Structure 1
Amino acid sequence: MDKRKYIEVVAAIICDGDRIFATQRGYGEWKDWWEFPGGKMEPGETPEVALCREIREELATRISVGERLTTVEYDYPKFHLTMHSYLCTVMSGELTLLEHEGAKWLGLGELDSMRWLPADELVIERLKARAVEGETR
C-alpha cells in the first residue's frame, strides 16, 4: 500500500492580455523555483472558492476565476499532487507578494526561461498546446 501523502491544490494562471503572472517560492526544498500562485484546498471548498481565498491570502488581490485549463497529477518524492489550474484575471487590488520572494509577468515565449516546479511544467505544456490550438482554429 502506498503510504505517500496525497495533496490537492489549486493554481491560478493569472492573465493580462498575452502575459502570465509567475511567482517564485521563498521557502522549503523548492525555494527559488517558479510556480503559479495558489495553494491547498480546504475541506468542503470548491476549486474556485479555494483559488479566490488563496490569491487573497498570498497576493492581497481579488481575482475572477475563468475556465479550468487542466488538472495535473504529479508524483513528487514525498507526496502525490493533484493540481487544478484555472485561467484567471485580476478584479481588484495590486498583486502584492505576501508569501513569495519574487514575481514576474511573462509572455508565452518566456515561460521556458524560468526554473518551474515539475507539476507547473505540465501546466505550461497545456498553455502552449492551447495557444497552438487557438492559432489553428
Structure 2
Amino acid sequence: MKTIRVAAAIIVRNNRIFATQRGYGEFRDFWEFPGGKIEAGEDPRDTIKREIREELAADVTPLKHFTTVEYDYPEFHLSMECYLTRLNSGTVTLLEHEAAKWLAREELMSVNWLPADLSIIADLEKASFTLPEA
C-alpha cells in the first residue's frame, strides 16, 4: 500500500483550535487540521510553514510535536506529523478551503472530522497541557 507523508498544524489562539473544511475531492466537506504533503528531503516543520502560506496566506511557527498519526485509508496509508503551532499573523485567508472555525476543546466534536484526524481530537481533549498562545 502506498504511504503518503503529511504534516499538520494544530494552530492555537486564545485557547481555541483552528479547523478547516475541505472544499474538494472525495472528502469534501470533512474537517481537518491544515497542512499538506511533505516534499522529499523536507522537514515537517518546514512543510507546515509552506503549506499554511499556500493555503491560508498566513505565517506560523510550529512549536512542539504533538503526535504522529498512522491511518489506513482504503487507497493509501497516511503518516501524519502533527505540531502545536502558533499563528504569527493576525488573520487567515481561505485560499483552498471551503470554511474554517476556531473551536474550543469542548467544541471539537461539533464538526465532521476526517477519519485520520479523529485520534488527534481524542488526544487534544484529554491532553493536560496549556495550549500555546500567539
Per the TM superposition, whether the score is higher than 0.5 is: yes
Give the secondary structure class of the aligned counterpart of 1:67.
Answer: strand
SS of residue paired to 2:88: strand
Question: Who is 1:9 aligned against?
Answer: 6
Give the structure-1-normalised TM-score.
Answer: 0.91
Residue ranges of structure 1 left out of the alignment (5+ in a row): none
Contact 1:60 1:93 in 2 (8 A): no
2: CA distance between counterparts of 1:105 and 1:91? 16
Cα root mean square deviation, aligned = 1.2
Query: Cα distance, 1:5 vs. partner?
Result: 1.4
Give 2:32's aligned residue: 35
Partner-residue secondary structure (3-state), 2:121: helix
Q: Please say if residues 70 and 86 of structure 1, whose CA atoms lie closer than 8 Å, have aligned partners that are also in contact.
A: yes
Q: Does 1:80 align with 2:63?
A: no
1:123 alignment partner AA: I
Q: CA deviation at 1:126?
A: 1.1
**Deviation above 2 Å: which 4+ runs of structure 1?**
none
Aligned residues: 130
Distance 1:103 1:22 in 2: 6
2:49 aligned with 1:44, yes or no?
A: no
Counterparts of 1:1-137 in structure 2 under 5 Å?
Answer: 4-92=1-89, 94-130=91-127, 133-134=128-129
- Which residue identity is paired with 2:98? E
TM-score, normalisation: structure 2: 0.93
Larger helix share, 1 or 2 = 1
**1:62–1:93 Cα contact (<8 Å) kept:** no
Matched position secondary structure for 1:120: helix
Separation of aligned partners in 2, 1:134 and 1:12:
17
- The residue type paired with residue 64 of structure 1 is T
Q: Between the two proteins, what is the percent identity of the paired residues? A: 57
Q: Secondary structure at the match of 1:65?
A: strand
Residue 98 of structure 1 aligns to which amino acid in structure 2? Answer: L
Distance 2:119 2:91 in 1: 27
Amino acid at match of 2:28: K
